[in-house]
Structure 1
Amino acid sequence: EACELYKSSIEDMITKIPDRAYKVIYTTAVLEHLHIDSEWVFGEMVRITADYLVTIEDELSVSCRTFPRNYSEVFEELGMVQMKAINCANIDGLTGSYVARIFRHKNGSNPNV
């Protein structure tokens, strides 16, 4: 299948993407850098997700470049259902502050989800 790549900030691009455009959205170590003024992007991610959203993010560290969040709370409030959460402490290159989460869209396009 074809792959689409965007060279833009998420804030500038995500509103141009059609509803439920992607069956799976995957992000790793990106959302933790999203400023609190741009948290509206999370709702847009749910809007463009047809079935699954996978996050691997640092949910605890605080710095001038990171904003800790519990992504289960973030995405479940927006209509996703968390299927699995895994602490990444035993994964090379990650620390215990990273959590991998798999969400399913409550109204997914696949009725067997």
Structure 2
Amino acid sequence: MDSNEVRRQWANRSAAYSPEYYAYHGPDKRSKSVRGLLERFVDRDASILELGCSSGRHLSHLADHGFEDLAGIELNGDAFDVMAESYPELAEQGTFHHAAIEDVVEEFEDGQFDAVYSVETLQHVSPDSRWVFAELARITSDLLVTVENEGDRSVSTESGDDADTEASTDYEVTYVTDDVPLYHRDWNRVFTDQGLVEVAAEAGKRDTVRAFRPPSSVAAEDR
């Protein structure tokens, strides 16, 4: 399945993993993980972008805890209708982009967002769109958080110096419903290769949570 077909599948998704599905389940432990890292590294007035925000359950959790400058990118247009019904204040006050990440990320300015985060979204980015990762590092001024399924990997705090740039050995692929591919990557390697510094990492049963900062933002005690 090519990347265009994958994006089409997500744009039209219903039932499991749809905007309605996520709104029904609401904020979860991943929401709390993201909030904890934001509270640790940035202020409440930080500009925050979620990649693949769906109907806004993670952003709504941030709003409930005092974060106000919130934005999101979402491919599925139904998500915004669900958001308006489930999280009306977020829908009214946030800034949202109905697009694929690939179609909008280049429009943002360098360091436009204090914090950028992804919860099980970057794992669906196709290898032919890996240029997106450099763009995400470019638009992040202070903190980038990934909450992604890395597959059968241990938490790493150093990137592979002897590894080539993205190649077939850099990820494992499995498939979710409708045969949509899920790419298991070492996100430490991906973003340290973009010049960011990993400042936190924790492996869970399914997802690994990582936090990255530009070298200029990293205090000596974070290294």
Q: TM-score, normalised by structure 2?
A: 0.44
Q: Does 1:16 align with 2:125?
A: no
Work out the percentage of aligned pairs sharing the same amino acid. Answer: 30
Matched letter for residue 123 of structure 2: E
Match for 2:200 among 67, 81, 84? 84
Q: Which runs of 4+ in 1 moved over 4 A?
A: 110-113
TM-score normalised by length of structure 1: 0.84
Greater fraction of residues in helix: 2
Considering Cα pairs closer than 8 Å and 6+ residues apart, tell me whether 1 or 2 has the greater RCO.
Answer: 1
1:51 aligns with 2:137: no
Between the two proteins, the alignment pairs up a number of residues equal to: 105
* Counterpart selection for 2:116 from 25, 37, 51: 25
1:41 aligns with 2:153: no
TM-superposed deviation, 1:111: 7.1
Distance 1:11 1:44 in 2: 9
Unaligned stretches of 5+ residues in structure 1: 90-94
Distance in 1, matches of 2:113 and 2:204, equals 26
Instruction: Give, in angstroms, the shift of residue 68 of structure 1.
Output: 1.2
For residues 138 and 216 of structure 2, the distance between their equivalents in structure 1, rounded to whole angstroms, comes to 11
Long gaps (5+) in structure 2:
1-67, 71-94, 152-172
CA root-mean-square deviation: 1.9
- Spell out, residue by residue over 1:14-58, the C-alpha distance to the aligned partner (whole angstroms, 9 max, x if none): 000000001111111000000000000000000000010000001
* Structure 2 SS opposite 1:100: strand
The structural deviation recorded for 1:5 is 1.3
SS of 1:19's equivalent?
coil
- The aligned counterpart of 2:174 is 62
